Amino acid sequence: MKPIRVGLLGLGVVGGGVWTVLAQNGGEIARRAGRRIEVAAVAVRDVAKARALVGPDVTVTTDGMALARDPDIDIIVELMGGDTVARDCILEAIAQGKHVVTANKALLAVHGNEIFAAAQARGVMVAFEAAVAGGIPIIKAIREGLTANRIQWLAGIINGTTNFILSEMRQRGLPFDAVLAEAQRLGYAEADPTFDIEGVDAAHKLTLLASLAFGIPVQFDKAYIEGISRLASEDIVHAERLGYRIKLLGITRRRPEGIELRVHPALVPDHCLLANVEGAMNAVLVRGDAVGPSLYYGQGAGALPTASAVVADLVDVTRLQMADPEHRVPHLAFQPDAMADIPVLPMADVRTCFYLRLRVDDRPGVLADLARVLSDAGISVGSMFQQPHGEHQADIIFLTHEAREGDVDQALRAIHGLPFVRSDVTRLRVENIT
């Protein structure tokens, strides 16, 4: 059979990885796909550099739109990133009736509804396994492997940079800034690490996972996002003493009133598998009503792991490109006419357990007053411990039972007004996931 001809937009880390994987495993891949998959053209900024890599037989251009319009190209693989040129090229490829594979989570989390609708209308596929958790086939697992289930919730470590930083902070007892600098030196963090450390990248990915899990449109703007840049080393130490590790989790959960959609650091029990996902690794724990808990683990970034997902999508698209659209897996797991209209819950209505730490004057009655404020707000304390700080002060840590976040915020405002309270209250969520 004639080879499938791919137009590759971008030949950076991931694009180079795709080139390498197709070159290295082309035979093995053709044995699975039933035909060869060839890069016919690449669009790049630096033509000479690209030419040196791909040799004389591949078209090299700086014009991505030209590739999107080239009738000799069967599938466009978009690995440029960004949401301007990438978006234009993808929409043009779709308009031309081409299938698209992309790793661009930022684009899909924001413009996904538009892009998937355009693809649906034109009868083409937009595949995006590489957009979430690198080489882990998590989109396939949720979209096809767990179709029997009413998915209840999922929680994932879906940003390798922050997981690396948190692992190093815990294992080596170093503060955030020192570990971030080291991560930048090692290439685990970018020069401008904001998107990673502030949780934005994880929220892009979580937005996509939530759509797949619950059949709702992508709605990044509704996600609650809190990063790790203000996380204190001492909370990592306290958490460990209490039998927890702190991870940056993306969590989405179906509640009767709506969908939780949130990224934030959380304490997780140290014996659970997610707590033991260390370094730059990713993992997603998915709970379905039939399957129970299931976990997917692997490298969430890097040239070859991400290329593994891109090429798996290429094989899927190659298999199904001539099939009727109705035979294909829907982009967001559910049929477009069967999407649900469930609201995303405001954070104030989310219920979790909490870790609260504050400094107080060490004198009688303090604990009673704090307990009273919490109890008045309907928050019940699971455990408490206290650590002297100097002669006249103490740090108090509460672990609460499940409480509504809005109620906790209200209680914290009251606590801040108490005369013996000497610090802000550090508030972290506790996820007793299993």
As annotated, the active-site residues are: 205
Max CA pair span of the chain = 83
Give the DSSP H or E segment for 152: strand 151-157
Q: Does 290 bind a second copy (CB under 8 A)?
A: yes
Contacts of 141 (CB under 8 A, 6+ apart): 286, 294, 296
Q: Does 122 bind a second copy (CB under 8 A)?
A: no
Q: Does 8 bind a second copy (CB under 8 A)?
A: no
Which residue is it, tokens 């538009």? 114
Which residue is it, tokens 């001539």? 322
Closest CB 431 distance from a second copy, rounded Å:
18
Point out which span in 74-82, 261-269, 298-306, 425-433 binds a second copy (CB under 8 A): 298-306
Whole-number Cα distances in Å, 21 to 28, 39, 60, 310: 10, 11, 19, 10
Task: Look at strands 99-102 and 75-78 and give their pairing.
Answer: parallel
Among 188, 220, 244, 297, binds a second copy (CB under 8 A): 297
Whole-number Cα distances in Å, 141 to 136, 248, 271, 272: 9, 22, 24, 21
- Of 87 and 140, CB closest to a second copy: 140
Residues in 309-338 at the binding interface with a second copy, rule: CB under 8 A: 309-312, 314-316, 319-320, 322-324, 326-330, 333-335, 338
Tell me the torsion sign for CA atoms 131, 132, 133, 135. Answer: negative
Q: Does 69 bind a second copy (CB under 8 A)?
A: no
Instruction: For residue 268, give the amino acid letter.
Output: V
Closest CB 296 distance from a second copy, rounded Å:
6
Among 25, 59, 184, 229, binds a second copy (CB under 8 A): 25
- Of 110 and 216, CB closest to a second copy: 216
Tell me the torsion sign for CA atoms 13, 15, 19, 25. Answer: positive
- Of 17 and 265, CB closest to a second copy: 17
Q: Does 244 bind a second copy (CB under 8 A)?
A: no
Q: Does 10 bind a second copy (CB under 8 A)?
A: no
User: Is position 428 annotated in a ligand binding site?
Assistant: no
Q: What does the alpha-carbon distance between residue 175 and residue 183 come to, in Å, rounded to a whole number? A: 12
Give contact residues for a second copy (rule: CB under 8 A). 17, 21, 24-25, 28-34, 129, 134-137, 140-141, 144-150, 215, 271, 273, 276-277, 283, 288-299, 302, 304-305, 307-312, 314-316, 319-320, 322-324, 326-330, 333-335, 338, 340
Binding residues: 9-16, 105, 190
